[in-house]
Structure 1
Amino acid sequence: MISIGSNTVARRIEDLGGDIIRQIKEKTKSFCWHSLALDESTDLCDTSQLLVFIRGVDSEFNVTQESASVHSMHSTTTGKDIFNEVSKIITEYNLEWKRVQCMTIDGGKNMSGTKRGLVGQITTAREVRGFSKPIFLHCLIHQQALCLKYVDMSCVMKPVASVVNFIRYHALYHRQFHDFLKEIDSEFLDLPYYAAVRWLSCGKVLLHCLEFRSQIDLFLTEKNKPQPLLSDCEWIWKFIFFADMTGHINNLNLKLQSKTNLISDYFVHVEAFRPKLALLEGQVFHNIFHVVKNFHAESKVEFPSSFANEINSDLKMHFQDRFAGP
């Protein structure tokens, strides 16, 4: 077998990509209306990546949804910069601004800003051309993730992240901890890094660390890096509470990520979770959270109901603000 040269592989990939773009351009010619979905995030190399999706409908109500562009932005990522890239895509695919009916964006200020952000730039450009303002939507799953992000969990997340980084950063410690988990036949064989941009990261890190709490305490003590908070019952209560709360949030997030969801399904999931928060708020004083209840018999310190109620009320408020009812 003769291997294909790297240049040949690159050329064939470019040909495949070019053919896909040509097919999309053919479909866009029949669009009566179309919408765009945009997401801007930073990769591992600190390069900003702008992802753009096109969704259009023709006169026979056939819906086409395709990924239109992944553009690397090496300099600034202001609303004006993103608007310029969107304008290029509109031109490249022979779309028309007047037929853009909706735009879905993430929650960054460079996107959602009504003056200098992308929203403001598009609104101004449409007004100059004499077109009405399109509908701007904030990604539903992103909004749900932001509800938890703006809850102050630093008292727990900072020590937990520090412990995880200590074990994962040193290759030898990481291997030793991995072997230790194998010896005890643990269900989880590793500790995941905490990444704020990953929606499920917070809950997974807390769950794993809670599962290995005693093992981590022993391991750190052997390495002469003890974490006193792992023996502090009052802090452990907060740790357990946040692990339980983020579990509920992650379950909702996974439901919203289902590819088979219709808009009515999203509405049902969110509306079902809002009264659940009110129910959990009433349960705080009775210590009947799932994980909290299991730890209650082990601790000599009372569950910090006032602290938990404050956090739950804060989370409830964010959900009410971001998913305001009629």
Structure 2
Amino acid sequence: MPPAGLSPIMRRRRLGTDLRRLREAAGLTGEQVIAAVGWASASKLSRLENGRSRPDPDDVRALLDLYGADEATGAELLDIARQAGDMRGWLKKYPVMTPQQRIFAELEAGCTEIREYNPVLVPGLLQTQGYARLRIVSAQQVESGVGDPEPDAVPEPPPAPVAPETQMAARLARQSRLLRADAPHYTAVLEEAALGRRAGPPEVLREQLRQLAELAGQPHVTLHVLPREARIGEWYLPPTAFSIYLFADPLDPETLAIEGDFTNAMSTEANTVNRYKVAFEWLRAAALSASDTVTWLFEESERLVEAGEPSTAAHGSATAPPQRRRHSGRLTDR
């Protein structure tokens, strides 16, 4: 199992980056390397250098010999290869994990700090079971509504459906990371709209708001609600939800992740990550303070109780739109 404070996915990326540098320093092309070590597939080297496959120490040793790596470098990279390849101990902490959830669990495993912004959803690390079920079921309904492919298109086999209970269990396993003694410092900026009536029935929202308020009481968790009318910088509008990960090992680069229902994107390119870091600071400055956010969460959950709007629809089904309410001047209305 990788030592505490190390991310499996970052171990693979670190190894791949260093192997690519050694290959380039040796003046070898990918084709020359494949021919020299006798691998059957050219994609094997590409997957290894891009951190997309679990490394075999014997394969890494063959590359180090070919590149003429010195003893210290070789020992270090073989140690990283073993950390990245032996996932049995790590997976014991996550007995149920979908492929998408595993990517983010591996990132979170080695973090010292996570910063997240979301305009429409409560981030996965903060979701209740009821809220998570709504999000999972609604996304699956979209998937089921996709039509047949074009007549000339070559049909791709559909991925095996993952039961909502399995996805929820995977998400809750990720959340346990925030409750551990070595939890990363976690800061999130949530748009007020992400916590509004469009997100689900009142009873689901009440539970979610109260859990957010409880989590905000943890010493390593800081939450900010961004009011609808808040001005961000010079009228800046963030284009998407995003997460930024900082790691214990200073040689593991800061990583940007953009998570969607149907696609994900990641980048360690410094200029790209820095732009999002600046955007996050603008968002945090425009949002309510941490203490005012806790007040907002409690007041909003109480308002839902006072509204007394029981939902007869099952989680994931449509509910009647809420009526407009008058502004009373309270923090919840601002």
Shared fold per TM-score greater than 0.5: no
After TM superposition, the score normalised by the length of structure 1 is: 0.31
After TM superposition, the score normalised by the length of structure 2 is: 0.31
Tell me: higher relative CO, structure 1 or 2? Use CA pairs within 8 A at least 6 residues apart: 2
